[in-house]
Structure 1
Amino acid sequence: MENILDYPNPLKRRASTRLLCGEYSFRRDGGEWEKINVPYCPESELSGVGYKDFIPLCYYRCGFTIDESAENKRTILHFGAVNYYAEAYVNGNYVGSHKGGYTPFEFDITDYVKRGENELSVRVRTGDLSNSARGKQSYKKQSFGCFYTRVTGIWQPVWLETVPENRVRDFYFRPDVKNSSVNVELLTTGKGRYRVRVLFDGREVGCASGEIAYRTTFEIKLSEVRLWREGEGNLYDVVIEYEGDEVRSYFGLRETRYDGMEYTLNGKPIFQRFVMDQGYYTGGVYTPRSVMEFAADVERGKALGFNGVRLHQKLSDPRLLYVCDKAGYMAWGEYPSWGIDYSSLDHLGQFLAEWEEAVRRDFNHPSIITWCPLNEVWGAWEEPDKLGDGRFAATVYDFTKRVDETRPCVDVSGGVHGEKTDLFDFHSYEKTEDLQKYLTRLDEADELEVPLLYCSQSDARYRGGQPVSFSECGGIALADSFDSEETGEINRGAVLSESGWGYGKREREGDEFVDRYEKIITLVQSAKKLSGFCYTQLYDVEQEVNGFYRADRTDKLTEAQKLRIREINLKRV
């Protein structure tokens, strides 16, 4: 039986997929060759290197074989993600390059391989630390505040596929709940005949076939309607056949939108109870020891009563999104936009190029219900008074809606908002008295006044009746012990000590933590005009100790305390 998690991208599965992971030779510029375990970054312990300092330039080498099965076919080399600028060589021949640390890319290496042994070499340069999308990767030598271990080089799988001369290039599914159908956009190399079969639980429930010349669109009526719902990840399997090429995929039949101030899934109002997941894994940094850790984190969130996840400042592994798809677990699709200088448009083109690759990679995941391209663009970390250019967010929003018209898009999570957005979104880690004022003003006066939400140089303001989401809250520090006194604030309401940090008073006891959680979430749930919230966060990340679980996913809370969290979350269901 096919194990979908064996494939680097569950949405695009070919039988010819062959992983090129495992032992490579690795060298930092100026260093000696050593062994590295790909796809773990060299900063991680699981890579076998564990070098934590800056790595401006590095090199990879590995051998691979080509056998008779590749005869009269094209050989495609895939990279899941390489941070940041990668140049690939096969048998000493340059085959292509890619810029951007989080998105996939591929090269046709047919003309450079030979029967038998071959060598892949990759040269990687890091991005400009002053102006490139890097998310929460530290720009200082060590982790600090809410910046963590850097990720250099290859950090997602590398693999080969052998395909016919004419092959499926891409495809996009646009489910139509009202008409019990799915609209398909199919892209190919060359011309020929296609057939697309849709199955549910092994039964064929729809089919289309015809001629294609590079691109076509068509509708497939579904004889069985199984909606993708909250907590019920009904997935239709898809088999695409084209001129000897076969790709397996899936989609969910669902509609995601806002109706007035309410979020609706398939027309049903749903209050979003989200938890933040920053995608860090003990020993592997961005990459887990096993893909089963993805499913374990989703189950942890569901057990605590959350119905979705904000995948924060990282483009998450497609296999994690498959787990969310299968579980009916909603998600915001976010890009690691921190690191960009928003005060100018100098990096806008590169950001849009990366963001388009991200949206197209994840377009068919039903779990992604909202796009979130930017986070907290109110100023640079070292220059908090440096104002962002409002045109940046406005352009990114417009661009997102052109690439994907099927999902809501929040222009910026937290602020400062631009002129265009499908929902207003704010963050607050301040005292509950302040939060009470913000929410009361929203409910009673239809006004949203939260610090850092608006740009002083722009007229963009919340307009009554727009949807509102509270996508960062809580962040209560919980640790067994704190080895020092508080040493100061690192952000609004965030308190730092040598042993870790979180927001507000640090807690050592689980019951006190749950009491504070209840106070915050009960207040949030009582707000009539919120469409949902996101709590910071599911698990600790390095020095940030405000998770329900430790960084290694061991328990901080007792089973009784976790049950209380679940009961609190489910009060507004």
Structure 2
Amino acid sequence: MKISNAKSSQTQPRPEHPTPHWERSEWLNLNGSWQFEIDHGKSGKEREYFKKDHHLTGEITVPFCPESKLSGVEYKDFMAAVWYRRGFTVPEAWTGGRVLLHFGAVDYETEVWINGVSVGTHRGGYSSFSFDITEQLAAGENIVTVLAEDDVRSGRQPRGKQSERFYSHGCDYTRTTGIWQTVWLEFVPGTYLSNMKLVADPDNACARLELEIKGRSAGTVVTAAAFFEGKAVGEVSAAVAGTYAFLTLPLSEVHLWEVGNGRLYNLELTLRHDGGTEDKVRAYFGLRTITIDGMAVRINGKSVFQRLVLDQGFYPDGIYTAPSDEDLRKDIELSLDMGFNGARLHEKMFEPRFLYWADRMGYLVWGEHANWGLDITTPAGLSSFLPEWLEGMRRDFNHPALIGWCPFNETWDRNGTKQDNEILRIVYEVSKQMDPTRPVIDTSGNFHVVTDIFDIHDYDQNPETFKARYEPMKTDGEVFVTFSDRQKYEGQPYFISEYGGIWWNPDQKDEKSWGYGDRPKSEEEFIERYRGLTDTLLDHPKMFGFCYTQLYDVEQEVNGLYTYDRKAKFDPAVIRQINSRKAAIED
């Protein structure tokens, strides 16, 4: 089999660099046509599908999952295991260093072979991973084989909104199996920069960097140079100590990253070994702070009301994968057009390209994992959750648009057994150790154990009873708590992180369609209900934000402000006028 380097093809899907926040010039996109086969009996390893000369029976377009139309497969039933195979040729110039094979995401348990030799495994359907494949490469054509095993019904893996039944139902949708983000090769020197953790410090006109290095670091110096709109505004160098370098990068100009103004600094990192250039990485960062002050959540010291919308990250033709980079940007534009300034990225770790556009457009996002489906009633659930969650936090830490973490969502009891509270406590504590700069919500909605922010979900469709529920809180009266026997409010900032979900699909006859509550009888009734619910939250002096359910319909759930194919159900200007007026808590 000989598949040409698809990077040169005009029809290659998702050709853009997958991680613009961490980019080298030497890389090769492996998206496109791969051999493919479904392995219902999980017997492929026994039958040695991984051997270099083994050919698979079908074909698929990567990075789209086999359930999707864009994959060319469109197989919707459960798949216990799937196999992928393609050839590639490493550029001749890639000598004297290391070759890394990257996967944006593969659902769920993955093993990878190069020329019939296993190079590693990974568990987790949402976090990114890579393998050093240098030693397994041969001259000329090489073969990569990928096995992905997936079982959303096991209770042992986070599945998010993937349906545990054959059909989509309620707020669970079409499944995603196997590769669903870009696969790519990268050439790095023998000693190279492997990760960066950057903490912005605009009050002291600097950024603090922690850089991780792989390879022989003795005699190695790293330099960080910052630029704003092409102008050099800071530079610092430091010797590498062991496998880390710690730098404070002074900045001659302070330009804040703000809501609606994604002011970004370009960052060039250079690793020099014994005076020679060893590695170069292009990155970027934004200067902004997040602090909690009483009931307000402040960005750069200002109380900013968070006008959030629930974004599930589903696409009609790509399921979990956006058909194009433009589609990722467009979803943010659609949200902004209706007066929202951010989103809860719901029950899914979104791909880095989405966060890149959020960074550039000044769009607030909350990072969340796909915890639904995972049994957390016993300590065993922690081992299936925490490693992948930390991988996601490590990958996304440097995005200024990301203003908070929410590892769990609605941790309902499982078969009558309550959640193990220690799992939520441990994940919260470890998350705070990993990132003390952002607030952490332990579990959105229920059942809170220890949290920086207290949020609830309230789908009351009556604006009057909805408003009355939160009136006492205005005068230090009783704070409304759902499931008061299971969770306790302890004075944290408070907001309604899911509300609305108003059912509106007058042009659809599908009997499976649903939304929350009763359907309005007219568009005017919808708008008045939306206005009444939203005004309650904007006018409340102790609410720092809201999150409306949801931005667009997903399959049978038709409570979006846009249809599934992203057509506005209402005049965006009308919704924008309701959403965008000044809130009571804002400075």
CA deviations on 1:364-383 (whole Å, 9 max, x unpaired) are 00000011111011323xx3
Q: Within 1, Cα distance between the matches of 2:354 and 2:348? A: 12
- Partner of 1:491 in structure 2? none
Do the aligned partners of residues 109 and 463 (structure 1) sit closer, same or farther apart at CA in structure 2, a change above 3 Å counting? same
Superposition TM-score, scaled by structure 2 size: 0.90
Do the aligned partners of residues 227 and 454 (structure 1) sit closer, same or farther apart at CA in structure 2, a change above 3 Å counting? farther
Q: Within 1, Cα distance between the matches of 2:465 and 2:425? A: 29
Maintained 8 Å contact 1:26/1:33: yes
Maintained 8 Å contact 1:233/1:252: yes
Q: Does 1:109 align with 2:133?
A: yes
Maintained 8 Å contact 1:417/1:453: no
Q: Which amino acid aligns with 1:200?
A: F
- Partner of 1:195 in structure 2? 223
SS in 2 for 1:513: helix
Structure 1 gaps of 5+ residues are: 485-497
Q: Within 2, Cα distance between the matches of 1:33 and 1:546? A: 41
- Partner of 1:489 in structure 2? none
Moved more, 475-484 or 155-164: 475-484
Q: Does 1:140 align with 2:165?
A: yes
- Partner of 1:230 in structure 2? 259
Q: Within 1, Cα distance between the matches of 2:226 and 2:484? A: 45
Task: Work out which of the residue numbers 206, 214, 223 in structure 2 matches 1:181.
Answer: 206
CA deviations on 1:90-121 (whole Å, 9 max, x unpaired) are 00000000000000000000000112101000
Maintained 8 Å contact 2:403/2:439: yes
Superposition TM-score, scaled by structure 1 size: 0.93
Q: Within 2, Cα distance between the matches of 1:179 and 1:391? A: 38
CA deviations on 1:274-315 (whole Å, 9 max, x unpaired) are 011100011000111111011111111111111111110010
Q: Within 2, Cα distance between the matches of 1:30 and 1:223? A: 60
CA shift, 1:210, in A, is 2.5
CA shift, 1:131, in A, is 2.6
Task: Work out which of the residue numbers 488, 497, 513 in structure 2 matches 1:461.
Answer: 488
- Partner of 2:275 in structure 1? none
Maintained 8 Å contact 1:311/1:331: yes
Maintained 8 Å contact 2:152/2:159: no
Q: Within 2, Cα distance between the matches of 1:227 and 1:347? A: 40
Do the aligned partners of residues 46 and 20 (structure 1) sit closer, same or farther apart at CA in structure 2, a change above 3 Å counting? same
Maintained 8 Å contact 2:104/2:183: yes
Maintained 8 Å contact 2:21/2:283: yes
Maintained 8 Å contact 1:67/1:115: no
Q: Within 2, Cα distance between the matches of 1:434 and 1:388? A: 30
CA shift, 1:511, in A, is 2.6
CA shift, 1:5, in A, is 8.5
Q: Which amino acid aligns with 1:196?
A: A
CA deviations on 1:235-290 (whole Å, 9 max, x unpaired) are 01111111321111111100012111001100001111001110001100011111
Q: Within 1, Cα distance between the matches of 2:141 and 2:201? A: 48
Task: Work out which of the residue numbers 433, 436, 447 in structure 1 matches 2:467.
Answer: 436
Q: Does 1:89 align with 2:113?
A: yes
- Partner of 1:546 in structure 2? 559
Moved more, 31-40 or 176-185: 31-40
Maintained 8 Å contact 1:321/1:367: yes
- Partner of 1:309 in structure 2? 343
SS in 2 for 1:478: coil
Task: Work out which of the residue numbers 28, 35, 40 in structure 2 matches 1:25.
Answer: 35
Q: Within 1, Cα distance between the matches of 2:418 and 2:342? A: 32
- Partner of 1:487 in structure 2? none
- Partner of 2:435 in structure 1? 404
Q: Within 1, Cα distance between the matches of 2:15 and 2:537? A: 37
Q: Which amino acid aligns with 1:25?
A: Q
CA shift, 1:446, in A, is 4.2
Q: Within 1, Cα distance between the matches of 2:321 and 2:84? A: 18
Q: Which amino acid aligns with 2:364?
A: M
Maintained 8 Å contact 1:478/1:508: no
- Partner of 2:4 in structure 1? none
Q: Within 1, Cα distance between the matches of 2:26 and 2:32? A: 18
Q: Which amino acid aligns with 2:374?
A: I
Q: Within 1, Cα distance between the matches of 2:113 and 2:419? A: 39
Moved more, 75-84 or 519-528: 519-528
Q: Within 2, Cα distance between the matches of 1:183 and 1:431? A: 47
CA shift, 1:469, in A, is 1.7
Number of paired residues? 545
Q: Does 1:572 align with 2:549?
A: no
Moved more, 432-441 or 338-347: 432-441
Structure 2 gaps of 5+ residues are: 1-13, 42-55, 273-277
Q: Within 2, Cα distance between the matches of 1:483 and 1:309? A: 29
Q: Within 1, Cα distance between the matches of 2:482 and 2:420? A: 18
Q: Which amino acid aligns with 1:197?
A: A
Alignment of 1:27-46 (within 5 A): 27-29=37-39, 33-46=57-70
SS in 2 for 1:356: helix
- Partner of 2:403 in structure 1? 369
Q: Within 2, Cα distance between the matches of 1:415 and 1:107? A: 38
CA deviations on 1:12-65 (whole Å, 9 max, x unpaired) are 101011110000000001597211000000000000000000001110001100
Q: Within 2, Cα distance between the matches of 1:508 and 1:218? A: 61
Maintained 8 Å contact 1:447/1:462: no
- Partner of 1:493 in structure 2? none
Identity of aligned residues (%): 42
Alignment of 1:282-361 (within 5 A): 282-361=316-395
Q: Which amino acid aligns with 2:231?
A: R
Task: Work out which of the residue numbers 168, 190, 204 in structure 1 matches 2:232.
Answer: 204
Maintained 8 Å contact 2:100/2:186: yes
Q: Within 1, Cα distance between the matches of 2:125 and 2:549? A: 25
Q: Within 2, Cα distance between the matches of 1:447 and 1:378? A: 25
CA shift, 1:337, in A, is 1.0
- Partner of 1:494 in structure 2? none
- Partner of 1:71 in structure 2? 95
Task: Work out which of the residue numbers 491, 498, 501 in structure 2 matches 1:475.
Answer: 501
Alignment of 1:497-536 (within 5 A): 498-507=511-520, 509-536=522-549
SS in 1 for 2:515: strand
Do the aligned partners of residues 378 and 52 (structure 1) sit closer, same or farther apart at CA in structure 2, a change above 3 Å counting? same
Maintained 8 Å contact 2:470/2:480: no
Maintained 8 Å contact 1:80/1:103: yes
Alignment of 1:139-288 (within 5 A): 139-189=164-214, 190-191=216-217, 192-212=220-240, 213-243=242-272, 244-288=278-322
Do the aligned partners of residues 403 and 290 (structure 1) sit closer, same or farther apart at CA in structure 2, a change above 3 Å counting? same
SS in 1 for 2:187: strand
Q: Within 1, Cα distance between the matches of 2:62 and 2:485? A: 43
CA shift, 1:231, in A, is 0.5
Maintained 8 Å contact 2:348/2:369: yes
CA shift, 1:341, in A, is 1.4
Maintained 8 Å contact 2:236/2:250: no
